Amino acid sequence: MKNNRFIKYAAVFLFSVVAAVLFSICFSAESVSSGVIRETLDLTRPQKNISGEGYYWNNRENILELNGINVNTDDEYGIKLIDGATVKLFGQNYISASEYALAGQGGFIITGDGSLTIVTDGDGIYSYSTAMNKEIKIRSGDISITAGRSGIRFDSGVISIVGGNTDIAVSNSSNGTGITGGTVQITGGSVFSNAAVSAAGTLRIIASEIRAETEPGRAVLYYGKSLLLEKVDLQTGESSDSLSTAEAYGGESSIATVSNAYRGGTSAILGESFPKYADIILIVLAIILLIVIVSLPVFLHFRKTKLMIKKLESENLNKS
């Protein structure tokens, strides 16, 4: 009798353990299956280093390294970042979410040599901070955004693109925007957008390549305070097929700019942000430094010898 009761309890216990294991496996498969992350990767309150499929979070440096990440979720957010984070791109990366693919509490930086593909019905890259002094900055990388509402959006703060290649396709191009921010400044790299670029304050386009277009009859550039176009050759028109050289922007639906900052080429030593003549200056300075390094010991030896001769002459005069 006691043996039967023991067997019964053991069977119930074993069944419970198996059920718990199966539930755990099913739950894990739902959130991460075949390397695909199925829920929001929330890094707004990290307490330690975190690693997962295709990513590594360095908590001390606030750096998120993406190397082959695949986020495909029906959640509102794909990845949420703490203020001041840096996203480094390695390899090919993919983020898809229903409303905000890559979002931050405040400002954040995107850099690296990899690529990032973003797909969302809402905003591709987004900050929900209301601070005007925060900044979303794209330094480098190949970024492709397919969005329903906005490619890059930071209503209150600054959006800066200083390098890389950013390609934006907005499905609702008539009402959506490619880029929209408090201040928008594009000072390097290339930007392609099928929707308007909008700034509540100042919109700056300096020494960079931009192609943006919206529906005919609508302005492709919006700005609340001022528009600065510097160190670029400008073309405008009502479509990309009707672009012509222009001295200033006048509310057209299509725009293209090419940097004319360094017509003589760019620096092979310092990179594309510096003109070619910077290399000549560096070479001349290096030659001068080499001459100084070689000549200084000779000069010091000559000076020392001259002082010794004077000293000997002085001693000989005193003896005589």
Read off the pLDDT of residues 290-312 as tens digits, 9 standing for 90 and up.
888 888 788 788 777 877 787 77
Percentage above 70 pLDDT, the chain: 83
Report the 10 Å Cβ neighbour count for 201.
14
> What are the Cα distances from residue 87, in Å, to 60, 102, 145, 265, 315?
14, 10, 16, 30, 74
What percent of the chain is helix, strand and coil (3-state, nearest 5)? 25, 45, 30
Beta bridge partner(s), residue 166: 143, 191
pLDDT number for residue 262: 67
Shortest CA distance to 205 belongs to which of 267, 248, 244, 240? 248
pLDDT number for residue 317: 66
Lookup result for tokens 């293209």: 256
pTM of the model: 0.75
User: Whole-angstrom Cα distance, residue 119 to residue 95?
Assistant: 6
Q: Is the pLDDT reported for residue 174 higher than 50?
A: yes
Lookup result for tokens 């591709």: 124
pLDDT tens digits, residue range 274-295? 666 677 888 888 888 888 888 8
pLDDT number for residue 173: 77
DSSP-assigned letter for residue 232: E
Least reliable range by pLDDT among 31-45, 126-140, 197-211, 223-237: 31-45
261: phi then psi, degrees, rounded to nearest 5: -65, -40
Q: Please, are residues 133 and 155 in contact by the beta-carbon 8 Å criterion?
A: no
Report the 10 Å Cβ neighbour count for 257.
24
Q: Is the pLDDT reported for residue 8 higher than 90?
A: no
Q: Is the pLDDT reported for residue 17 higher than 70?
A: no
pLDDT number for residue 259: 94
Of the chain, the end-to-end C-alpha distance in Å amounts to: 133
Under the banding of pLDDT at 50, 70 and 90, the label for residue 266 is low
> Which stretches of 19-62 are assigned E, i.e. beta strand?
32-33, 36-37, 41-43, 50-52, 55-58
User: Whole-angstrom Cα distance, residue 18 to residue 65?
Assistant: 37
pLDDT number for residue 198: 97
pLDDT number for residue 273: 57
Q: Please, where are the H alpha helices in the chain? A: 2-31, 277-319
Give the torsion sign (CA, 83, 226, 178, 210): negative
